[in-house]
């Protein structure tokens, strides 16, 4: 029998005493060594600098202890060590050692081919609009990247939506056309709903029966994609500029990620979530813990994301979505496979999708998770 558990947040206990003392002692010895000061002048840290050194040293020590006492994969451990590496470099600079160290991950990211224009932080004091006066990260204009609509296709599966949401589907298409001209949409709708495909630009509408399994429909839609990237619009019911598709595509390259998601908010109740979960499968229990341990470029490293996401189409060829099961089970199985392959999955909460309220109820729906339990060859209890 398998139990599906959802824990509200992660609060791992860190056993730091021995690690911190040993780490600080080693750092002080290294600080005073002749080699450390070979190319720099000794300095006497003031009280503020000492506080920063202590804070960064403790952070690095906590990360090392976290790796020692937790069951992380090789890639996850490497990312944590990269964070500790950064903290130690900053300590070295505070101590007067200005030699820079470049990690292999940064060298690798520098070799990435730029596909999306970068962002820059903007602040407009003269704006009459309070929101825009606060500013934020804005997309820069550039000419050395491919046109965005040639990179990404948006895929939606509306077949199993509640009929009360059908009225929102045309608005989704129109809003995508308005915000991202020329970007292609592939959508499945129930055969009981009639929409004129000619009313929407660059949109392919497929009518399917509700009797067809959700995951089989997703496979059908993904197979039709001809661009490098695909946006899986799970449970989406409204499209806005908060979706920030460029941000999601950019981080696949920057973070060498396989999947990049955003946060989401339910349409009616307004429940917000970063959608990031960690999963553990052991002793006939599949446990999902909401939260994260590692973050990179304001994105959270996850094992499973609940919201819509962007991935390379080639990823679905490498790791296929299981056919003939519910959407919840299909993507849960898919993300477990990605975890076993050490693929990087992240959620960037500064992007946000708007989804159906029912999507928040799936975690407790026996029917949706039953297919996953059968796939794992265990029994499922409600």
Distances in Å between the Cα of 21 and the Cα atoms of 27, 50, 67, 93, 265 are: 10, 16, 17, 21, 44
What is the value of pTM for the model shown?
A: 0.72
Question: What pLDDT, in 10s, does the model give residues 230-281?
Answer: 999 999 999 999 999 999 999 999 999 999 999 999 999 999 999 999 998 8
342 alpha-carbon distance from chain centroid = 15
- Under the banding of pLDDT at 50, 70 and 90, the label for residue 112 is low
pLDDT at 24 over 80: no
Instruction: Convert the pLDDT of each residue in 147-173 to its tens digit.
Output: 999 999 999 999 999 999 999 999 999
| Residue 231: per-residue pLDDT | 98
Cβ contact 66:83 at 8 Å: no
- Secondary structure class of 337 (helix, strand, coil): helix
Instruction: Report d(CA 167, CA 378) in Å as an integer.
Output: 40
∠ CA 368-331-7, rounded to 5°: 70
**pLDDT value for 123:** 62
Selection from 75, 101, 26 nearest residue 293 by Cα: 75
Distances (CA, A) of 117 to 140, 180, 298: 6, 15, 18
User: DSSP letter at 320?
Assistant: P
Would residue 320 be called left, alpha or beta, if left means φ above 0 and alpha means ψ between -120 and 50 degrees? beta
Please say if the pLDDT value at position 45 is more than 90. Answer: no
**If DSSP codes are grouped into helix, strand and coil, which group holds residue 191?**
coil
Residue 38 reports pLDDT greater than 50: no
DSSP-derived 3-state class of residue 33: coil
- In this structure, what token pair is assigned to residue 249? 């595509």
Whether the pLDDT of residue 327 is over 80: the answer is: yes
Of 34 and 184, which is predicted with more confidence? 184
User: Which residue from 275, 246, 249 is spatially nearest to 260, judged by alpha carbons?
Assistant: 249
Least confident range from 64-68, 111-115, 351-355: namely 111-115
Beta-carbon contacts of residue 180 (< 8 Å; ≥ 6 apart): 148, 149, 245
Q: How far apart are CA 268 and CA 247, in angstroms?
A: 26
Q: Measured between alpha carbons, how far is 13 from 6 in angstroms, rounded to an integer? A: 19
At residue 187, the pLDDT reads: 97
**Euclidean distance between CA atoms 111 and 345, whole angstroms:** 20
Query: Which tens digits make up the pLDDT trace of 188-232?
Result: 999 999 999 999 999 999 999 999 999 999 999 999 999 999 999
Residues constituting the chain: 382
Tell me: pLDDT of 19 over 80.
no
Q: Residue 369: its pLDDT value, please?
A: 80
User: What's the average model confidence in pLDDT over 337-358?
Assistant: 94
What was the pLDDT predicted at 73? 64
- Any idea which of 76-85, 153-162, 277-286, 294-303 has the lowest mean pLDDT? 76-85
């Amino acid at each position: 029998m398998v139990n599906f558990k959802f824990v509200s947040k992660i609060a791992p206990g860190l056993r730091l005493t021995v690690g911190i003392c040993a780490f600080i002692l080693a750092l002080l010895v290294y600080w005073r060594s002749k080699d450390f000061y070979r190319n720099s002048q000794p300095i006497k840290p003031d009280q503020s600098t000492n506080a920063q050194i202590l804070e960064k040293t403790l952070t690095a020590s906590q990360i090392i202890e976290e790796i020692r006492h937790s069951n992380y994969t090789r890639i996850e451990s490497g990312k944590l060590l990269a964070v500790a590496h950064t903290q130690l470099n900053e300590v070295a600079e505070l101590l007067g050692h200005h030699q820079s160290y470049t990690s292999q991950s940064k060298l690798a990211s520098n070799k990435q081919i730029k596909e999306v224009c970068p962002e820059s932080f903007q602040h407009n004091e003269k704006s009459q609009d309070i929101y825009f006066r606060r500013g934020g990260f804005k997309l820069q204009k550039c000419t050395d990247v491919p046109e965005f609509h040639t990179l990404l296709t948006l895929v939606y599966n509306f077949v199993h939506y509640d009929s009360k949401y059908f009225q929102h589907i045309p608005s989704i298409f129109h809003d995508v056309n308005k915000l991202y001209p020329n970007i292609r949409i592939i959508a499945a709708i129930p055969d009981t709903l009639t929409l004129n495909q000619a009313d929407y630009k660059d949109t392919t509408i497929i009518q399917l029966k509700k009797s067809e399994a959700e995951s089989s429909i997703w496979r059908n839609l993904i197979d039709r994609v001809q661009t490098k990237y695909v946006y899986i619009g799970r449970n989406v019911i409204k499209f806005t500029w908060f979706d920030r598709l460029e941000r999601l595509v950019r981080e696949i390259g920057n973070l060498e990620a396989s999947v990049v998601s955003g946060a989401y908010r339910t349409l009616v109740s307004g429940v917000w979530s970063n959608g990031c979960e960690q999963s553990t499968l052991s002793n006939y229990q599949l446990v999902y813990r909401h939260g994260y341990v590692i973050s990179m470029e304001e994105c959270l490293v996850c094992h499973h994301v609940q919201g819509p996401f962007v991935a390379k189409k080639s990823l679905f060829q490498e790791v296929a979505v299981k056919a003939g099961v519910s959407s919840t089970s299909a993507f849960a199985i898919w993300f477990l496979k990605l975890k076993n392959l050490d693929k990087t999955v992240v959620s960037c909460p500064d992007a946000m999708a708007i989804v159906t309220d029912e999507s928040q109820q799936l975690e407790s729906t026996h029917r949706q998770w039953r297919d996953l339990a059968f796939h794992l060859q265990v029994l499922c209890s409600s």
